[in-house]
Amino acid sequence: MLKGIAASPGIAIGKVLKYENKLSLFKEKIEPWEIDEELQNLHRAVQDHILRLTELRDKTGREIGEKEAEIFDAHILMLKDPMFIESIEEKIRVGKNSAAAAVKFAVEETAGILKDVDDEYIRERASDIEDVGNGLIKNILNIDDGLIEKLNDEVILVAQELNPSDTARMDKEKVLGFALDTGGRTSHIAIMANSLEIPAVLGVEGLSKNVKDNDLIIVDGNKGIIIVHPSDEQIGEYNRQLEAYKMKKSMAEKECNRPCTTRDGKEIQIGANIGTPGDAEYAKKYGARGVGLYRTEFLFMDRNDLPSEEEQFIAYREVAEKMAPGPVIIRTLDIGADKSLPYLELPREQNPFLGWRAIRICLDRRDIFITQIRAVLRASNFGNIKIMYPMVCGVGELIQANGILQQAKDDLKKEGIAYDEKIETGIMIETPAAAIICDILVKYVDFFSIGTNDLTQYTLAVDRMNNRVADLYNPMHPAVLRLVKHVIDVSHRAGKWTGMCGELAGETLAAPVLVGLGIDEMSMNPLSIPRIKETLRRISFDKAKEFSKEVLSMEHPQEAQDACRAFLDQTGN
């Protein structure tokens, strides 16, 4: 029995598949006349790998969640960092190293500095740098590593380490669990394993050297235990535990299509966050009563030009028809910051998250905006569609956006094209400005949806992509929770409703607080829906209201999280 870190709960019993993601055999030194060719190889590989990571980012956003997808934003930024690329170029020009070797040495230098830092979170970020390096080297060498992409049998992956790109590519239906030599609770593999509901035990030193392919092992992600070559008695006991867990999960999934009502009769609308029309079926499978966030930017990505009105109309109509009569909240184009469209030639900005993005771009590029609005309006004739504007900070932006909406309505009416004349409009509350003046903004909208990802980032002045301060990012911070409470109260006083589409909505730990604060709708990654519904059905709304008052008075995010854990333990979750 080996002890590690319980990084993702659950139990897995299966055969080992050892995975090695590091590269060691390649030419290191080059001749002077090979320098130009190696520089060309480097630049080609960098551009190819950026495209590869962009695809992985979009895939992860659709299949796992936006929070997990942001991991790849950091990787892409690293490949666009002139200092990082220049350090590799110097090793080629001056050190006469091959492109692959130059990347290896540059990564070792940078990762080595982080590994010497006392802070666990910062040490874990060294694996991000190594992940970027390994991917870049594979691209330089034209290596197609498909070992974990199409698996024939169910396996438990055992490795020295797994990187985010490995996890995003793997055949998730066949991977029963993770058992790694390295990693901790703050590692990206822990975050992704939790989101995928895959049991994981990390930090089991020397494990990968002491097991071989097809060895039978048990991964106990609840206690942080690995059992190699378990006895019949141990297999029997863990099989009983596994069956009990599967039964509980199965019951939650069977019940997932029932309305979500607390023990004392308070109904909470549960929706899904999606990025493509195909995600709608996936959302319905897991019990979504609608779509709380349709990220339309995926329609604009991975192409060379803007999607036409007809293309957009077809996509929006498909989702509306699939989810009917449930609501579909379509967020208008949210690009800029961490999401760029090469064909729009967005300017390079020092602070892109504070720059030209989302509604700001749409109001400046009215041709893009009105095309999208027309497509949404046309699709509204085929289902229960609502429009949501992102990144609104003031009433002026909202009045302009509604003015363009009215123009599109007038044009369609003249053209004899049907649309829902009572279509609801709302805004994402994702800046402190919008939260503070929501009593003004509420006059111009039908609903609010709180985007806790950006609201937390802007409220706490914490760049989620900056490894040195990312541990300060916590949506359970009292400042964030008080803003959430303020927005909900203002909307209710105006006879309107507030939902939440940020990652916090899918966190079981936060469920009692959000319900107690009076949230009307919660939208999340479809995978989280059965678990959240089961949790909410065990909660008393009246008790949650009293509990939320206690949480709002707490001084520290950790205190709030501990209190939530205790509250859920009392309800049997």
Whether 501 is a known active-site residue: answer: yes
Can you list the alpha helix ranges (DSSP code H) found in 163-255?
164-169, 188-196, 207-210, 232-254
Structure tokens at 144: 């197609």
- pLDDT at site 79: 87
User: pTM above 0.75?
Assistant: no
Which of 110, 140, 170 terminates a domain? The answer is 140
My answer on whether 333 and 481 are in the same domain is yes
Percent of the chain with pLDDT over 70: 89
Task: Count the alpha carbons within 13 Å of 149 in the hemisphere toward its beta carbon.
Answer: 6
- pLDDT at site 29: 87
Task: Count the alpha carbons within 13 Å of 457 in the hemisphere toward its beta carbon.
Answer: 18
- pLDDT at site 278: 80
Task: Count the alpha carbons within 13 Å of 156 in the hemisphere toward its beta carbon.
Answer: 31
Give the C-alpha separation, 166 to 149, whole Å.
Answer: 9
Which of 336, 334, 339, 333 minimizes the C-alpha distance to 347? 336
Average pLDDT by stretches of 10, the chain with 573 residues: 83 88 70 90 90 82 71 82 88 89 86 60 66 84 69 87 76 87 73 80 87 92 90 91 77 74 92 86 87 89 84 95 95 76 70 79 92 97 96 95 96 96 96 96 97 92 68 89 98 97 89 96 88 90 95 93 90 63
Amino acid identity at 127: S
Give the CATH number of the domain where residue 33 resides.
Answer: 1.10.274.10
Classify residue 227: in a domain, yes or no: no
Give the C-alpha separation, 405 to 305, whole Å.
Answer: 23
Give the C-alpha separation, 555 to 357, whole Å.
Answer: 33
Which of 96, 111, 140 terminates a domain? The answer is 140
Classify residue 212: in a domain, yes or no: no
Which of 46, 55, 33 minimizes the C-alpha distance to 80? 46
Give the C-alpha separation, 355 to 369, whole Å.
Answer: 18
Share of the chain residues as helix, strand and coil, in percent rounded to the nearest 5: 55, 15, 30
- pLDDT at site 72: 81
Classify residue 361: in a domain, yes or no: yes
- pLDDT at site 340: 64
For the stretch 180-232, pLDDT in tens is 988 776 566 777 787 778 899 988 888 988 899 999 999 998 888 999 999 99
Tally of structural domains, the chain? 2
Give the C-alpha separation, 497 to 438, whole Å.
Answer: 12
Query: In 3-state terms, what secondary structure has residue 271?
Result: strand
My answer on whether 348 and 493 are in the same domain is yes
Whether 188 is a known active-site residue: answer: yes
Phi, psi of 148 (to 5 degrees): -105, 5
Q: Which of 260, 438, 501, 564 is catalytic?
A: 501
Which of 87, 125, 86 minimizes the C-alpha distance to 105? 87
Give the C-alpha separation, 300 to 275, whole Å.
Answer: 11
Classify residue 504: in a domain, yes or no: yes
For the stretch 235-283, pLDDT in tens is 999 988 888 777 777 776 777 778 888 999 999 999 999 888 888 887 8
- Contact present, 181 and 203 (Cβ < 8 Å): yes
Integer CA distances (angstroms), 447 to 424, 441, 442, in order: 8, 10, 7
Find the domain containing 557 and state its range: 261-570
Give the CATH number of the domain where residue 508 resides.
Answer: 3.20.20.60
Query: In 3-state terms, what secondary structure has residue 254?
Result: helix
Classify residue 337: in a domain, yes or no: yes
Which of 523, 492, 488 minimizes the C-alpha distance to 507? 523
My answer on whether 299 and 441 are in the same domain is yes
Classify residue 476: in a domain, yes or no: yes
- Contact present, 548 and 512 (Cβ < 8 Å): yes
Which of 118, 140, 162 terminates a domain? The answer is 140
Q: Which of 75, 188, 362, 438 is catalytic?
A: 188
- pLDDT at site 323: 94
